[in-house]
Structure 1
Amino acid sequence: MFYGRPAKYSYWNGCSTGGRQGHMMAQRYPTQYDGILAGAPAINWDKFIPAEYWPQVMMKELDYYPSSCEMDALTQSAISACDELDGVKDGIISMEGLCHFDPLTVVGKTVNCTSPNGTIKISKKAAQIAAAIWAGAKASDGSALWYGLPYESPLTSLGGTNCTSLTDCGSLPFAISSDWIQLFLQKDTSFDVSTIGYEEFDTLFRQSVNEYASAIGTRDPDLTRFKNAGGKMISWHGMKDQLIFFNGTEHYYRQVLEHDPKAHDFYRFFPAPGVEHCRGGPGWYPGESMNALMDWVEKGVAPETLKAIATPSATGGAQPPLRTAGLCPWPRVMTFVGGNPDKASSFVCK
């Protein structure tokens, strides 16, 4: 007791694995913390980690490994198609659930590329790969295994390739996913992940769940003990997250509400449009969320919105002003109602 008395409140703050650990504290050790701030939580680890390899499976099955230029063009096409669903054009998809972009509509479009330099036309196979990444991992019989990336997430994060030219590319999977398959599932450091097709992927996905769900799954929706202990939790997740599937967190929160329809009284989830994994991207980052959590725990003031800021990329000249926003608690979404789109007052939660 450095200050001569015990701490009055205890808090947890973490993102990604830290966000998963925060959820595990609420689920398994509910009296340890008065408040938990859990960003982009890596819950459902046993499912989403093998699901991260799904893009590479699709490339192998189609025998096509698109360049990053081709895949980035598909991402930008999706953003252009769905950007203004929230009422303002700002390069951010805030209403992901209303976006139904079909990548086949831009097949044949010419794209100018750098590194490697040149031009390329968007191919049907690249469009099929993008559609599969957005739809999410499938079993060999076509049934859904897990969610896909949001439309605005960089497809190259999980659908990575290594290219010597625009038309000569090979597989470059996300290391954590390929390591998981090699070390934790196959338990063989020499296993060649590039050989994985539909059927083997199906088997590996189910093996991951069967072996590791109880240890690292972290998806118990029963937070009764945390609630009874007086705990409060704020979770947020970037809707442009390129590594942990945003809809997996949304799925968990829906399960919590199904178990306890009043869970909103102690646990609130805030989607962050345009934010990548834990930070980055053009969207609104809730960097002052701990203040909101402390107000909820210590003053009983529940957050109706979560203060967030975005810094648009400068295109020359003076640095553009910060954009402010109040992130909306799920299931409400930020909707532009007019005025200056850089101001939080120009948006409401609907």
Structure 2
Amino acid sequence: MKRLLVLVLLLGTCGFASPGGLADLKPLPPVMVCAEVTGLRLPGVTLTSATVAGATCEVRGTIAPADTIVVRLPLGGWTQRYVQTGCGGLCGTATINYGQAAGCPVVEDGSVASATTDMGHQGQNDGSWAAGNPQAQIDFAYRGVHETAVTAKRIITAFYGRAPRYSYFTGCSDGGREALMEAQRFPDDFDGIAAGAPATNMAVQNTFHHAWNVLANRDSSGRAILLAAKLPLIHNAVLAACGPVLDDPRQCHFDPFSLVCANPATCLTAAEATVVRKLHDGATDARGRRLEVPVGHEWGSELEWTLFVPATPTAPVASESFALSYLRYLADPNHARPDYQLSDLEFTVASFWRTVLPSSAYMAAMDPDLSAFRRSGGKLLLWHGWNDQHIAPRSTLAYFSELRDPARYARLYMFPGVAHCGGGQPFDVLTPVMAWVETGRTPGSINGVRAMSPAAARGDYHWVGEGLYSHGYQTWPRAVGDKLVTGPGYPGGHAR
């Protein structure tokens, strides 16, 4: 059906392509008053308010049991598009955030309908919301985003008398994981998806990756070895060795021990150089077996390492809170461990599987088989900044490398100098997806960066968990009392 719509547009039956490559769709007015939306009867949904906010009707409600949603409906003319936005971190707030869509014409002119969700819980981004609350875990993993798509489309259809012609999803970080989860589990929800810096392997990302960021930099007394004041020194040395702009940091082979000397003001100690090497390389066990995708942090990203390199030896760092939130409340879905400390995590292969498997089966978005999404006509734009300090850029390269026949439906963009989710550098990843879906225009360069070919994306991504890039590992658990139980299918009754 989606391909048929694209063909019709190309033939001109439903309009011509606009200058931005988008279909020229007729704006539609509402067929009901904003305040009447709360009177809609939708299964499992309570609509609590519908108020005029500027040029939109803003609808708020709850999808049972606890998914808060926000839907915005243009009052001045809806161009038949729906855009759902993702949520970062462990979420807990329902705020529509278009992220890297600066300049997208139909976002800028307010003619798209949009929605988002808090993914089944409110506040407390420390993970404690998951304790004894299996439904909140399921909603956060995949259900909340999907049910929001279903509900928002029903509201849109009632409000305008017509279902969306095209539906899109855009998100970064956990929003990127949500985006891929949609393509993998619910391939018919969206025609086009922009997935930025996706936390595909959250169960690894928020355990071994972030814990390594902290523990690799601690001495025997628990004090930080490398401090933030040394990061500019390291960064300048990397640029001197590999060039001022690292278009592909994989080609940079910097040796941090080249900075070791006796002058602490201008050099590193051997202990500091060891930490730099460990932070770059990523988590391993004592035998050097990789417990995450090789290279945790790319050369050239050193100025962003303040996320986990403190200013003083005893100052807290964000990576520790990320890891503890997951290890205490999400890694083992049925057994909260509020007293868990990073020192309890063993960097061994056996510990890897004990820690990662219980939640990976429903939390990770690592299935490379997007054939159902491709058959439905879906288009996927993956993107990542090389300077990402939160999520390893090569985790996205590794996932892209595992996709089956990606040239037909997927594109990957790796942005030099860009930190996590853009780091304040605006560019538009949404319009290229829309143009690809609506008029068949294959995405070109974005912000001066061209799409990376599947061949160029390949590399040495061997690590302990690489088998998780497989089809069929994902389960569909259900909540039974205060326990998460693996079930045979999606509890909402939708096909797998």
TM-score category, normalised to shorter length: 0.7 to 0.9
| 1:266–1:170 Cα change, 3 Å | same
2:225 aligns to what?
65
1:206 aligns to what?
353
CA contact (8 A) 2:194 2:381 kept: yes
2:238 aligns to what?
78
Alpha-carbon offset, residue 287 of structure 1: 2.1
2:162 aligns to what?
5
Identity of aligned residues (%): 27
TM-score of the two chains, using structure 2 as the length reference: 0.54
C-alpha distance after superposition, 1:235-279 (max 9, x if no partner): 1000100001100010000011xxx2x321111111111100001
Give the secondary-structure state (helix, strand or coil) at the position aligned to 2:218.
helix
Alpha-carbon offset, residue 108 of structure 1: 2.2
1:271 aligns to what?
414
d(CA) in 2 for partners of 1:192, 1:152:
31
The match for 1:172 among 317, 326, 344 is: 317
Alpha-carbon offset, residue 332 of structure 1: 8.0
Q: Counterpart of 1:77 in structure 2: which amino acid?
A: A
| 1:188–1:209 Cα change, 3 Å | closer
- In the alignment, does 2:248 pair up with 1:95? yes
d(CA) in 2 for partners of 1:79, 1:212:
39
2:177 aligns to what?
20
- In the alignment, does 2:286 pair up with 1:133? no
Q: Counterpart of 2:235 in structure 1: which amino acid?
A: T
What does 1:315-334 correspond to in 2, within 5 Å?
325-330=448-453
The match for 1:301 among 426, 441, 448 is: 441
2:80 aligns to what?
none
CA contact (8 A) 1:185 1:207 kept: no
Give the secondary-structure state (helix, strand or coil) at the position aligned to 1:41.
coil
What does 1:254-293 correspond to in 2, within 5 Å?
254-256=401-403, 260=404, 262-280=405-423, 285=425, 287-293=427-433
- In the alignment, does 2:185 pair up with 1:36? no
Alpha-carbon offset, residue 170 of structure 1: 5.4
d(CA) in 2 for partners of 1:265, 1:286:
27
d(CA) in 2 for partners of 1:290, 1:80:
35
How many residues are aligned here? 289
C-alpha distance after superposition, 1:276-310 (max 9, x if no partner): 000126xxx562221111110000111132x21xx
| Uncovered stretches (5+) of structure 1, i.e. residues with no partner | 84-90, 112-118, 309-324, 334-350
TM-score of the two chains, using structure 1 as the length reference: 0.75
The match for 2:381 among 204, 225, 234 is: 234
C-alpha distance after superposition, 1:88-119 (max 9, x if no partner): xxx431121111100000112757xxxxxxx4
Alpha-carbon offset, residue 329 of structure 1: 2.6
Q: Structure 1 stretch 206-215 or stretch 293-302: which is displaced more?
A: 206-215
1:88 aligns to what?
none
d(CA) in 2 for partners of 1:169, 1:76:
26
| 1:72–1:183 Cα change, 3 Å | farther
d(CA) in 2 for partners of 1:206, 1:69:
36
d(CA) in 2 for partners of 1:96, 1:169:
31
| Uncovered stretches (5+) of structure 2, i.e. residues with no partner | 1-156, 457-496
Q: Counterpart of 2:377 in structure 1: which amino acid?
A: G
| 1:203–1:141 Cα change, 3 Å | same
| 1:263–1:286 Cα change, 3 Å | farther
CA contact (8 A) 1:53 1:173 kept: no
| 1:120–1:196 Cα change, 3 Å | farther
CA contact (8 A) 1:34 1:297 kept: yes
Q: Structure 1 stretch 91-100 or stretch 37-46: which is displaced more?
A: 91-100
d(CA) in 1 for partners of 2:416, 2:305:
19
2:339 aligns to what?
190
Q: Counterpart of 1:267 in structure 2: which amino acid?
A: A
| 1:42–1:205 Cα change, 3 Å | same
CA contact (8 A) 1:59 1:65 kept: yes
Question: Considering only CA atoms, is the larger Rg found in Structure 1 or Structure 2?
Answer: 2
| 1:236–1:66 Cα change, 3 Å | same
- In the alignment, does 2:366 pair up with 1:219? yes
C-alpha distance after superposition, 1:7-64 (max 9, x if no partner): 1111111111111111011101001111011111111111122212113222236665
CA contact (8 A) 1:107 1:121 kept: yes
| 1:76–1:159 Cα change, 3 Å | farther
CA RMSD of aligned residues (A): 2.5
CA contact (8 A) 1:136 1:149 kept: yes
1:336 aligns to what?
none
d(CA) in 1 for partners of 2:177, 2:238:
30
| 1:210–1:297 Cα change, 3 Å | same
Give the secondary-structure state (helix, strand or coil) at the position aligned to 1:161.
coil
| 1:184–1:288 Cα change, 3 Å | closer
What does 1:134-149 correspond to in 2, within 5 Å?
134-147=280-293, 148-149=296-297
